[in-house]
Amino acid sequence: MNWIIRSIKILEFHTNLREVLKPIWEDLNEYEWVLADLDFMTDDEIPIHFDEDYFILNRDEFNVIYQSRTQLIWGLISAVPRNTPLDFNLISNLSVEVQDTFTADQYLIKESYLEITALDSSYTIIKFKDEKLSNKFKEYFQDEAIDLQEFHKKKI
């Protein structure tokens, strides 16, 4: 239930959230969004900036990013159930440059329901705790969604 996208045949650019989340977006209404360790490019006005280490966004705030043409070059995007207690000290110090990023079923935020990692506009890693959501994602992206564990084995 962990995928990596390298090819961008379907995606206009890596970590275009409107495209990455398209097959599952309607299933993600009950979540808040944690964004950390970010680098991004956008011409749109969005509710994130470079002055903070992390952001906690509600559905409406995150929808602004989802609807925008923002390219997340680097960073972590996590859907967590609303009102979940989080360790903000841990979140403010997160880095996607750790081994767990490429390890299947290892979440940088343990409360994540869904975790997306953007790495240098080269890879988009998506980890799911919900098998139904994962299957829906894989069905949409087909061969472009590569099993993360298999990919990691080949790279070691």
Residue-wise pLDDT for 48-74, tens only, equals 999 999 999 999 999 999 999 888 889
Question: CA-CA distance, 147 to 48, in Å (whole number)?
Answer: 30
- With bands split at pLDDT 50, 70 and 90, how would you rate the model's confidence at 8? low
**What contacts 136, CB < 8 A, 6 or more positions away?**
23, 24, 27
Q: What average pLDDT does the segment 104-115 reach? A: 95
Question: CA-CA distance, 83 to 106, in Å (whole number)?
Answer: 22
Q: How many helices (H) and strands (E) does the chain have?
A: 5, 7
Residue-wise pLDDT for 14-37, tens only, equals 678 888 999 999 999 999 999 999
Rounded to the nearest angstrom, the gap between the alpha carbon of residue 60 and the centroid of all alpha carbons in its chain is 17
- Tokens 């990691």, located at residue: 152
